[in-house]
Amino acid sequence: MSSPRTLIAAIALAAATAVVSPLTAQSVRPNTDSLLDRIRVLDSAVIVRGRSVDSIRRSLVRPVPPIAVRRGALEVRTVAAVESRVRVAVDSVAGLIERRGGPELAARVALHAPMVLPDSSRAMFGMVRVLALVSDTARRSAPIARRPIPATATASQIADGLASMVEQFALQGVDSALAAWVMVGRVPLRAASATEAGNTYIELATTASAALRRCRDGDAPSCLDVLGIDSLPGTRLERWYAPDDYRALLGIVAPAREDSVAVTAWLKCRDDRDAAACVTAATALPNNRIPPPLSPAARVMFLHEVLTAGGPAAYGRLVNASGSVRTRLEHASREPLDTTVRRWRDRIERARPDRMRLQPGFVIASLGWTGAFLGLAVVRRRSWA
């Protein structure tokens, strides 16, 4: 038989259980409701973000335009609003492919289907209407990959944009040695413009380089050396630059900061025109940091000369040949590169821009103004006396 104390404890425990159980049951429900609300909020966020992703996907991967304009290997998709201009442009570019690339280029172009379609682009004040040239319908094209041209572009402007794409298609898939030599990511199929030739002339005439001076004087091996086709004996510094060129060279490249002696000499060369310091700083440069005297644009001009000499099949011979860059260029042009480089140099020399020539009228006007100022100075001096 239990004692009174035990009985009282049992009654107290039962009462506590009866009081606590309802409270516990009521406290669980608010927590459950809170979790459900949280889940609903997260679901809403996922739905909103999903819609944003779908919107971005739709803007990047647009439906293929309904109209196909085809001639030869080139097929361009477009819309009715610009179809007439695109047809003229496609005819022009297809002719370029036949004349300059032949079957080899046609096979590469056939792997792509460019698009020309109305679009919009950001401007200083809002948005402007443009035509977007997209390189392929089968790939996602981010906005940066689209090439905008004015919405009112002529058929010639559209053809120029399509031809630029074809030049890029022409270099896709070639071996790394040829691609590294070309450097600019395209094969020059279009005729070089007067501006391109003039810029190359300015480069040859104004760049401080002993090798370029020898090239302009008719030394074909020096021309091939600065074009990156052949390498003459010696380091880059010895082959391409003379001590008189070092200060200009050091304006482009500087010694490593860890070489305190070379950095000090570089500062004296730059600020004090110290010839001995220029020699010290230049000879401290590693061979792989010596920049070539000619830009990739000059190589493009030379490659254009090679393809022109070789005729329509030159492109196929260039990309299918093996061996050194010189061997491949000679195979493409079907002539010794010494002959090609002389013709390239002569063409560049004839492309001297008019702005570098002093016009007779300008010279006469300058002399007249100089005489007028001198006369005014003499008159004023006499009046002071």
**Beta-ladder partners of 120:** 129
Torsion angle in degrees (nearest 10) through CA of 227, 233, 239, 242: -160
Torsion-angle region of 269 (φ positive above 0: left; ψ -120 to 50: alpha; else: beta):
alpha
User: Exposure string (b/e) for 264-295, b if CB count within 10 Å is 16 or more?
Assistant: ebbebbbeeebeebbebbbebbeeeebebbbe
Q: How far apart are CA 69 and CA 88, in angstroms?
A: 10
- Reported pTM: 0.72
CA distances to 200, 346, 348 from 194, rounded to whole Å, are 10, 14, 10
pLDDT at 11: 54
The residues with which 77 forms a beta bridge, in sequence order, are 68, 115
Q: What is the DSSP letter of 183?
A: -
Predicted pLDDT of residue 25 = 46
DSSP letter (8 states) at residue 137: S
- The phi, psi pair for 140, rounded to 5°, reads -70, 135
| Cα 103 off chain centre by | 28
The continuous run of DSSP H or E covering 144 comes out as: none
CB neighbours of residue 159 within 10 Å = 23
Q: What is the DSSP string of 74-111?
A: EEEEE-GGGHHHHHHHHHHHHHHHHHHTHHHHHHHHTT
Using left for φ > 0, alpha for ψ between -120 and 50, and beta otherwise, residue 356 falls in: alpha
* Torsion region of 183: left, alpha or beta (phi above 0 gives left; psi -120 to 50 gives alpha): left
The pLDDT of residue 1 is 45
With H, G, I as helix, E, B as strand and everything else as coil, classify residue 134. Answer: strand
Look at residues 310, 158, 296 and name the one whose alpha carbon lies nearest to residue 228: 296
Q: How far is CA 342 from the centre of its chain?
A: 29
DSSP state, 221? Answer: H
| CA atoms of 116 and 114, how far apart (whole Å) | 7
Residues in the chain with pLDDT < 50? 1-2, 16, 18-28, 140-144, 358-359, 362-363, 378, 381, 384-385
Angle of CA points 236, 242, 248, to nearest 5°? 90
pLDDT for residue 380: 52
Nearest to 277 by CA among 286, 287, 290, 264: 264
Would you state the pLDDT for residue 20? Answer: 44
